[in-house]
Amino acid sequence: MDCWLRKITPLVFIAALQCATPAPAAAAADGAPAAAPAPDKLGFVWVRVPGGEFTMGANDGDGDERPAHPVRVKDFTLSRTEVTQAQWRAVTGEAHPSAKNCDTCPVSNVSWDEAQAFLAKAGGLLGEKLRLPTEAEWEYAAGGGAKHQKWAGTDVDQQVRDYVWSNTNSSRAAHPACEKQPNLFGLCDMSGNVWEWVADFYDRDYYETSPAADPTGPETGENRVLRGGCWSSHVGIARVTQRYNSWGGAQTPYYGFRPAK
């Protein structure tokens, strides 16, 4: 980062970034236009996701995506983007752990545990409780609610590259948030760019017994769930039903996160 940028306060810097990159208008899942939400003082643009019912999982997917089953979620709110490097620095006061400097790119090399610490601190700065989305909330939001699209923003193979940073178009690196088309809720990079930690423990058989209303995952487990694939993944891994998991202390160039509230 240039030295002059280190001399201004993180929050002022975030505000400057937001002024330079105004948020595009979001679209509601039913196709109706929605007003562009304004960023908060940490630069988060919050997207209200209306609750509803959808079919979670995929019977033609991997073993842990089965069985497809009906799930209801309540209204919730998600950040339009993955947490960026600039937001990480603004909240923690520390250098971002990503390999490449790129203020508007998602922060990576962040563990599930570090994401929790970030959310607690960011929530304190904003005066509200922030959290990771549940696995069900993430899939519902990514697929555009009941439409449950194959990728976040499209069902059409030939359109995927317009919505998803994967190993076919990323040049082996994460990219600035929202360079690709948003999904039906106006959320960016739900499929691709970096994997996103969600709140739940991972259990490959969880769908066989999970509750129909607001599932929160197994009570205990060894690993946490990640969703959405990343810049180094095959585009098939970026499907909204694809499940992945890792030890909560893992830090890799592929893992990031996005806050919910």
Residue 189 gets which letter from DSSP? S
- What is the nearest approach in angstroms of Ca ion to the Cβ of residue 194? 5
- What is the nearest approach in angstroms of Ca ion to the Cβ of residue 165? 8
- What is the nearest approach in angstroms of Ca ion to the Cβ of residue 202? 17
- Structure tokens given for 1: 């980062």
Answer yes or no: are the C-beta atoms of 135 and 199 closer than 8 Å.
Answer: yes
**List of residues 6+ apart from 198 with CB closer than 8 A:** 132, 133, 134, 135, 137, 138, 224, 225, 226, 227
Residue 215 or 228: the one with the smaller Cβ distance to Ca ion is 228
Residue 13 or 26: the one with the smaller Cβ distance to Ca ion is 26
- What is the nearest approach in angstroms of Ca ion to the Cβ of residue 201? 20
**List of residues 6+ apart from 127 with CB closer than 8 A:** none
Answer yes or no: are the C-beta atoms of 107 and 84 closer than 8 Å.
Answer: yes
- What is the nearest approach in angstroms of Ca ion to the Cβ of residue 34? 21
- What is the nearest approach in angstroms of Ca ion to the Cβ of residue 96? 17
Closest CA to 245 of 187, 193, 205, 190: 205
By CB under 5 A, name the binding residues for Ca ion: 189, 193, 196, 228
- What is the nearest approach in angstroms of Ca ion to the Cβ of residue 219? 27
Distance CA 46, CA 4 (A): 29
How many of the other CB atoms lie within 10 Å of CB of 251? 15
Residue 13 or 47: the one with the smaller Cβ distance to Ca ion is 47
Residue 114 or 189: the one with the smaller Cβ distance to Ca ion is 189
Cα 140 vs. chain centroid, distance in angstroms? 12
Residue 13 or 200: the one with the smaller Cβ distance to Ca ion is 200
Q: Which residue is nearest to Ca ion (CB)?
A: 228
Evaluated on CA atoms 74, 80, 85, 90, the torsion sign reads: negative
Residue 13 or 119: the one with the smaller Cβ distance to Ca ion is 119
Instruction: Verify cis geometry, omega within 30 degrees of 0, for the bond prior to 50.
Output: no
Phi, psi of 85 (to 5 degrees): -60, -40
Residue 135 or 189: the one with the smaller Cβ distance to Ca ion is 189
Distance CA 135, CA 151 (A): 16
